[in-house]
Amino acid sequence: MTMIATCHCGGTRIELPDAPTHATSCTCTFCTKTGGLWAYYPPDVPKIVSDAHRGEYAPSGLNQHYFCANCGCTTYGISPDWELGGEGVPEKRKFAINVRLLDDFDLKSLTVEEIDGRNLW
């Protein structure tokens, strides 16, 4: 079932092919301050229908964090897929959607994994 993620003003609209079952809550300084709750997809899977006011924040250059510059919602991110392990920065990247943007979705249905990003990187 297609799921729709929208920011508060509607400028951002992203289609996902199915509802996430898992999400990641991270303790890093970025995630703590933005409140993002993340579900991951291959980068070519989410369909960005509208990204009308996209702002980008990428202080390290490794992780692109996106937000709506009109309403301020944290929307999605694209980052290296560290789960693959190995040496150096992985070429493969992953798309993280902020599941708080999903319309008509019960966040309590998610299994949430906490990652201690504040101490891991």
Residues forming contacts to Zn ion in the complex (CB under 5 A) are: 7, 9, 11, 68, 70-71
The answer for residues whose C-beta is within 8 angstroms of residue 50's C-beta and 6 or more apart is: 10, 11, 12, 13
Q: How far is the CB of 70 from Zn ion (least distance, A)?
A: 4
Provide the edge-to-edge strand list for the sheet that holds 22-26: 54-57, 64-68, 74-80, 93-98, 38-41, 22-26, 111-115
CB closer to Zn ion out of 24 and 98: 98
**Residue 34 CB, nearest approach to Zn ion (Å):** 14
Of residues 45 and 71, the one with the C-beta less far from Zn ion: 71
User: Smallest distance, Å, CB 121 to Zn ion?
Assistant: 29
Nearer to Zn ion, 36 or 94 (CB): 36
Nearest residue to 27 via CA among 116, 106, 100: 116
